[in-house]
Amino acid sequence: MFDQLNPMPADPILGLLNEYRQDTNPNKVDLGVGVYKDPAGHTPILECVKTAEQYRLSTENTKVYIGPTGSADFNTLITELCFDNEHPALLANRIRTVSTPGGTGALRVAADFITRCKKDAVIWVSDPTWANHTGLFEAAGITVKTYPYYDYDTKSLKFEEMIACLEQVSADDVVLLHACCHNPSGMDLTQEQWDIVAELAKTKGFTPLIDMAYQGFGTDEDTDAYGVRKMAATVENMILCSSCSKNFGLYRERIGSCSIISSSAAKADTAFSVLLYVVRCLYSMPPAHGAAIVETILGSAELKQQWLDELKHMRDRINGNRKLLVDALHGLNVDLDFSFITEQKGMFSFLGVNPQQVEQLKNEYSVYMVGSSRISIAGITETNVDYLAQSIAKVL
């Protein structure tokens, strides 16, 4: 039976990790996978996480099954972080949340939930979107279509085309939106644009699925959730998938959440029962460790403040890196204007070089980025920025 298998191509993002690790060039630069790095190129464990882990180690007294929903305390606290504890949908008891194995787990739970709502469902994703969105939804049997989003030439949003496309979307369809720090373009909707999209979702009746993988990496944890909160205050039905990988630095612990918002508390109970069934069939129940860390942090005023400070530190460093790269490139008098990079938000931007130049940067200069020329800004350091800018200038 296995003889019928054909090898799958390497994952466009994770495949780079192996190549980078095997590269022996001492000047190699990793702008591939979206992980935060400090000025030494290391991905540290947050101090608040260390403290919470020590607390967990000394107080944990069982390893018994946690159940498909995961930790109730985590679910409450993460819902309040995403939506705000005064949100009308929360006060009306219309939100149900489960802990999931990372943001990707949340998306897969959402995908299976959607197919329970409608067989042959269609989801619209931005062009471009995170490389894994398409495979993930197709694996669940959902048809993936795209709406215009990023203009590679003008480095801006195609907002009018996006709206014109979403005007045509069927009321039975799902539309995936990135809450903030759009992956891969770094171009976010403004608050005014979110207002327009939320009104459109309400009038057209499509179901928004918002993917929030970078809350706190854009402007701050509340501003980054503007679209989520606005949408949830406007429409009757919505799905939110969130991740604690980046903002809590918990990548390998795999902790995220999937929230379903329904039109009434009773309908939310029904949706929740479906959600539990979906989780039970997919992986039975989520891992507990990451959730325990997050709930310890969010449940303590002192640790939460420490986390917000550490989050700000990561955000400021990434924004600083944007300027560092642009200054270094402009200092080399390259013909292209890269200032758009400083105007974008979050972990990523498109450098704007072609696929051959991406290959050349990898093969000749050991500079690693996704084939679309998406760069993970966190991989830039004061030490590697000159080498990086010179390598880019050479391939241009």
List residues near ligand LMR by CB under 6 A. Answer: 13, 33-34, 130, 132, 183
Length reported for the chain:
396
Q: Which two tokens stand for residue 193?
A: 């644009």
Contact yes or no for 176/126 (Cβ under 8 A): yes
- Give the dihedral sign, CA 109/112/116/119: positive
Q: Which residue's Cβ has the minimum distance to ligand LMR?
A: 34
Closer of 14 and 265 to ligand LMR (Cβ): 14
Residue 150, beta-bridge partner list = 157
Catalytic site includes residue 246: yes
Q: Which of 30, 173, 188, 211 is catalytic?
A: 211
The SS3 of residue 373 is: coil
Closer of 16 and 285 to ligand LMR (Cβ): 16
Q: Which of 28, 246, 345, 362 is catalytic?
A: 246
Q: What's the min distance (Å) between Cβ of 100 and ligand LMR? A: 14
Closest CA to 354 of 334, 337, 369: 369
Closer of 34 and 70 to ligand LMR (Cβ): 34
Catalytic site includes residue 195: no
Closer of 32 and 68 to ligand LMR (Cβ): 32
Closer of 128 and 286 to ligand LMR (Cβ): 128
Closer of 210 and 235 to ligand LMR (Cβ): 210
User: Tokens 């969010």 correspond to what residue?
Assistant: 298
- Cα 291 from Cα 52, distance rounded (Å): 11
The SS3 of residue 235 is: coil
Q: What's the min distance (Å) between Cβ of 105 and ligand LMR? A: 11
Q: What's the min distance (Å) between Cβ of 134 and ligand LMR? A: 13
Q: What's the min distance (Å) between Cβ of 365 and ligand LMR? A: 21
Q: What's the min distance (Å) between Cβ of 330 and ligand LMR? A: 27
* Residues 6+ away with beta carbon under 8 Å from 201: 175, 207, 208, 231, 234, 235, 238
- Give the dihedral sign, CA 281/285/290/292: positive
Q: What's the min distance (Å) between Cβ of 35 and ligand LMR? A: 7
Straight-line distance from the first to the last Cα atom of the chain, in angstroms, rounded to the nearest whole number: 48
User: Tokens 């919505």 correspond to what residue?
Assistant: 238
Number of H helices, E strands in the chain: 15, 13
Q: Which of 124, 130, 194, 307 is catalytic?
A: 130
Helix axes 301-331, 47-59, angle to 10 degrees: 150
Q: Which residues are catalytic?
A: 130, 211, 246
